[in-house]
């Protein structure tokens, strides 16, 4: 049986980053940059004051009282050049006048009227020492024109959008969002708003899986629930292909039950690459193509489907979306209890408690693959490596934070 790592590598080798598109900055949150971004100009672009106060020449530090020759609000261009004994009232963010090389905060002067609307005084006195550069944000201290400020493959965070706006990028080249078709399968499944009659359950996988994939940056096209018949499964997969998606994701119908048609349908309408992985939960995972569209079939049990998505689909979506910094971030956690495993690579639901910088992990109770509550209660999935049958108390393992 394939290891998780081999299976993931086999999947990832079949995908590449989606094409580029240019979007208005406002639509770029969580999108992935398609190229490096060099700064078109310095930041700040001009020497400016970091305080409300008085622009001065540090050479005048010994003078104590200066005459105020200008008033410079933010956004204006100073028309004066300060000479010996002169100061200008200046607001935060306003451009420094020529001749000035420091700003005295208004708090450190004898000018007390600080309410909005007061005009500048004729003279100003101060007691504090002044050094050149005090309270001045010099041109280019943050970055210089030509510096690469954001790199290709970065998923744009809110603060990145702020920086791009500072630099005047109204439009940004990003990768297209991966498009994924999602369907559930099983005769027992009914829609979330349907009345549960005997033997039926709500289709819950499609909600958890769609949300996870959207979080990973995908556009999800929900195709509903296929019945446990060949023709129903083929009908929905055909709809998925018609939607021109990058990937089809299904849940259930991949085990060895008498009504599990997925594997057979993939085999006879495309290519089956593998259908089992040495992991728990989630051993039956199908990878292949349905009529030339890449296909990942996850198991039906809600926790198995979730884990399969996290382990195989998320990295696929990250690669498709062009993300280069998207590798799963795992942390080390210390087991609070002895953990038994069956030797497959296991993903166990655990709560994390932090103590003196150490993450301690306690399982959230029953680890049955149908028990979604224990996943809801978990902060992390512990990864017990293949071949390990027992993890003693106090041992560290890797974990995916949820
Ligand atoms: P299967 O893989 O079809 O054998 O299904 C395994 C288990 O997962 C069964 O108990 C199913 O009822 C359950 N299951 C399958 N699909 C879903 C779904 N979409 N939502 C919730 N439970 C599901
Ligand atoms: Mg089924």
CATH code, 306: 3.40.980.10
Identify whether 200 is part of a domain: yes
Among 182, 252, 371, name the best residue to mutate to test ligand 1's pocket (greatest count of ligand atoms within 8 A of Cβ).
252
Q: Which atom of ligand 1 is nearest to the CA of 284?
A: 2
Cβ atoms within 10 Å, residue 202? 15
For ligand 1, the distance from its centroid to the CA atom of residue 305, given in whole angstroms, is 9
Residue 155 CB partners (closer than 8 Å, separation 6+): 30, 31, 32, 217, 321, 323, 325, 326
Identify whether 362 is part of a domain: yes
Q: Which atom of ligand 1 is nearest to the CA of 252?
A: 2
Q: Average of pLDDT values for 29-51?
A: 98
User: 335 with 383, same domain?
Assistant: yes
Identify whether 22 is part of a domain: no
Percent of the chain with pLDDT over 70: 99
- Strands laid side by side in the 65-72 sheet: 102-105, 53-56, 86-90, 65-72, 123-125
User: 201 with 124, same domain?
Assistant: no
Q: Please give the residue range of the domain that contains residue 130.
A: 48-137
Q: Tens digit of pLDDT for each residue in 216-244? A: 999 999 999 999 999 999 999 999 999 99
User: 183 with 312, same domain?
Assistant: yes
For ligand 2, the distance from its centroid to the CA atom of residue 3, given in whole angstroms, is 24
Last residue of a domain, one of 273, 293, 320: 320
Identify whether 131 is part of a domain: yes
Burial class (CB in 10 A: 0-12, 13-18, 19+), 290: buried
Q: Whose CA is nearest to atom 14 of ligand 1?
A: 300
Number of domains making up the chain:
4
Last residue of a domain, one of 274, 296, 320: 320
Structure tokens at 5: 């790592």
For ligand 1, the distance from its centroid to the CA atom of residue 177, given in whole angstroms, is 28
Identify whether 66 is part of a domain: yes
Q: What pLDDT shows up at residue 61?
A: 87
Last residue of a domain, one of 83, 118, 137: 137
For ligand 2, the distance from its centroid to the CA atom of residue 129, given in whole angstroms, is 79
User: 241 with 266, same domain?
Assistant: yes
* Helix ranges restricted to H, 103-229: 158-166, 205-215
User: 36 with 54, same domain?
Assistant: no
For ligand 1, the distance from its centroid to the CA atom of residue 67, given in whole angstroms, is 81
User: 233 with 353, same domain?
Assistant: no
Q: Whose CA is nearest to atom 10 of ligand 1?
A: 301
Q: Whose CA is nearest to atom 23 of ligand 1?
A: 300
Ligand nearest to the CA of 298: 1
For ligand 1, the distance from its centroid to the CA atom of residue 19, given in whole angstroms, is 35
Identify whether 68 is part of a domain: yes
CATH of the domain at 354: 2.40.340.10
Q: Tens digit of pLDDT for each residue in 122-145? A: 999 998 889 999 999 999 999 999
Q: Tens digit of pLDDT for each residue in 311-326? A: 999 999 999 999 997 6
Q: Whose CA is nearest to atom 5 of ligand 1?
A: 300
CATH of the domain at 161: 3.90.105.10
For ligand 2, the distance from its centroid to the CA atom of residue 353, given in whole angstroms, is 37
User: 162 with 283, same domain?
Assistant: no
Q: Average of pLDDT values for 71-79?
A: 97
Q: Tens digit of pLDDT for each residue in 179-210? A: 999 999 999 999 999 999 999 999 999 999 99
CATH of the domain at 73: 2.170.190.11
Q: What pLDDT shows up at residue 114?
A: 76
Q: Taking CB atoms and a 6 Å cutoff, what residues make up the pocket around ligand 1?
A: 184, 186, 188-189, 201, 203-206, 251-255, 257, 260, 299-302, 370
Q: What pLDDT shows up at residue 150?
A: 98
Q: Whose CA is nearest to atom 12 of ligand 1?
A: 188
Identify whether 325 is part of a domain: no
User: 187 with 304, same domain?
Assistant: yes
User: 150 with 35, same domain?
Assistant: yes
Q: What pLDDT shows up at residue 326?
A: 66
User: 225 with 290, same domain?
Assistant: yes
Mean pLDDT of the chain: 96
Label the pairing between strands 279-280 and 247-251. unpaired
Identify whether 73 is part of a domain: yes
User: 35 with 85, same domain?
Assistant: no
Q: What pLDDT shows up at residue 89?
A: 98
Q: What pLDDT shows up at residue 327?
A: 61
User: 35 with 169, same domain?
Assistant: yes
Residue 152 CB partners (closer than 8 Å, separation 6+): 33, 34, 35, 36, 322, 324
């Amino acid at each position: 049986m394939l290891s998780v790592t081999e299976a993931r590598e086999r999947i990832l080798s079949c995908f590449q980053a989606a094409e580029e598109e240019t979007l208005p900055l406002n639509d770029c949150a969580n999108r992935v940059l398609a190229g490096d971004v060099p700064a078109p100009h310095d930041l700040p672009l001009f020497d400016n004051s970091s305080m409300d106060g008085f622009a001065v020449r540090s050479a005048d530090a010994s003078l104590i009282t200066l005459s105020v020759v200008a008033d410079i609000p933010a956004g204006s261009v100073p028309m004066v050049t300060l000479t010996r004994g002169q100061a200008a009232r200046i607001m935060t963010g306003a451009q420094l006048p020529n001749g000035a090389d420091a700003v005295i905060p208004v708090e450190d002067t004898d000018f007390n009227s600080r309410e909005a609307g007061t005009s500048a005084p004729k003279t100003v006195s101060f007691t504090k020492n002044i050094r050149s550069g005090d309270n001045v944000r010099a041109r280019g201290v943050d970055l210089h024109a030509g510096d690469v400020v954001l790199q290709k493959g970065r998923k744009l965070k809110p603060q990145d959008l702020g920086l791009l706006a500072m630099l005047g990028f109204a439009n940004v080249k990003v990768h297209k969002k991966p498009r994924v078709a999602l369907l559930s399968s099983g005769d027992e499944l009914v829609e979330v708003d349907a009345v549960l009659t005997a033997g039926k359950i709500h289709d819950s996988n499609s909600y958890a899986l769609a949300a996870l994939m959207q979080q990973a940056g995908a556009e999800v096209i929900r195709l509903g629930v296929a019945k446990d018949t060949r023709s129903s499964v083929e009908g929905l997969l055909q709809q998925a292909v018609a939607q021109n998606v990058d990937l089809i994701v299904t849940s259930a119908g991949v085990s060895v039950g008498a009504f599990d048609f997925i594997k057979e349908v993939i085999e006879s309408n495309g290519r089956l690459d593998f259908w089992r992985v040495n992991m728990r939960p989630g051993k039956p995972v199908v990878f292949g193509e349905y009529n030339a569209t890449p296909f990942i079939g996850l198991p039906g049990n809600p926790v198995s489907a979730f884990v399969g998505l996290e382990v195989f689909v998320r990295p696929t979506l990250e690669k498709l979306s062009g993300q280069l910094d998207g590798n799963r971030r795992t942390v080390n956690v210390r087991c609070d209890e002895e953990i038994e495993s069956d030797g497959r690579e296991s993903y166990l639901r655990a709560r994390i408690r932090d103590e003196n910088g150490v993450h301690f992990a306690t399982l959230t109770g029953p680890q049955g693959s149908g028990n979604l509550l224990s996943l809801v209660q978990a902060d992390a999935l512990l990864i017990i490596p293949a071949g390990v049958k027992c993890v003693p108390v106090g041992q560290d393992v890797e974990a995916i934070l949820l």
